[in-house]
Structure 1
Amino acid sequence: MALGLNVERPEEACSDENCPFHGTLSVRGQTLEGEVASTDMDKTVIVEREYDVKVPKYDRFMKRRSRVPAHAPPCVDLEVGDTVRIAETRPLSKTKSHVVVERVATAAAGGDV
């Protein structure tokens, strides 16, 4: 099954209905990249993105961050600090409208030393 994204299918299978690879969930819209900030919830991760915003008054940039809740299928093994790619999907709950489609880098390889 093709997602329309250039991502590899995970090796292990899962029985999650909301998995874009092994279930019936379709992806559409934006794809974002960020770092996993929290894995405390069941099947949900918080992905944190940092970006710069120009402040015209001081002619400088300031850092902002956004935290996006995303569905984490069991076939994608995630830890805090991993860099992941998430894709937009239909609303899965009150706050979740994204799903993790790929782990780009692990916490040990992608973090600062």
Structure 2
Amino acid sequence: MVSTQGCIDVSEHQEARNIGIAYPGLKAPEIACSDKKCPWHGNIKVRGALLLGKVSKARMRNTVTVEREYTVWVRKYKRYERRKSKIHAHCPPCIRVKEGDIVLIGETRPLAKTVSFVVLGVIKSSFNVSSQSRAT
């Protein structure tokens, strides 16, 4: 779980700004943050690619690893091959993310050595399947 340090109530802080991206299911977070690298409350511009992916790791502070699955046509075998890519993305404290969530990430300027994407929002939240299967 990403830490909530730096989060404050929206009534005390500025409203979330319009980032100029209209995507179904994407809305501004209810809580505000004081993170300079937040696209909603900071001064980061989102430009370039918008990608959907599944959060595979959320253990780093304010950074998550997003895994994308895609297919590639292999001409020799006349079949598709499944491949995966992992992308590190900055996760502002105002967006609550956990492993297994489907998130929308947007490309920005380089924020760190390996981070050039920022989490814009959670599209589909995951729930713990193993705890539900034990209950039945």
**TM-score under structure 1 normalisation?**
0.93
3-state SS of the aligned residue for 1:36?
strand
Aligned pair count? Answer: 110
Equivalence for 2:38: 19
Equivalence for 2:8: none
Summarize deviations over 1:8-51 as a string: whole Å, max 9, x none.
11000111110000111111001000000001111000000000
3-state SS of the aligned residue for 1:28?
coil
Q: Does 1:104 align with 2:129?
A: no
Q: Percent identity?
A: 46
More strand by share: 1
**Post-superposition shift, 1:60?**
0.3
Superposition CA RMSD, Å: 1.3
**Post-superposition shift, 1:94?**
0.6
Summarize deviations over 1:58-91 as a string: whole Å, max 9, x none.
0001100000000000000000000000000000
**Post-superposition shift, 1:2?**
1.8
- Counterparts of 2:27 and 2:102 in 1: how far apart (Å)? 15
Q: How does 1:53-92 map to 2 (within 5 A)?
A: 53-92=72-111
Unaligned runs of 5+ in 2: 1-16
Q: Does 1:45 align with 2:64?
A: yes
Q: Which runs of 4+ in 1 moved over 3 A?
A: none
- Counterparts of 2:28 and 2:75 in 1: how far apart (Å)? 44
Bigger-Rg structure (1/2)? 2
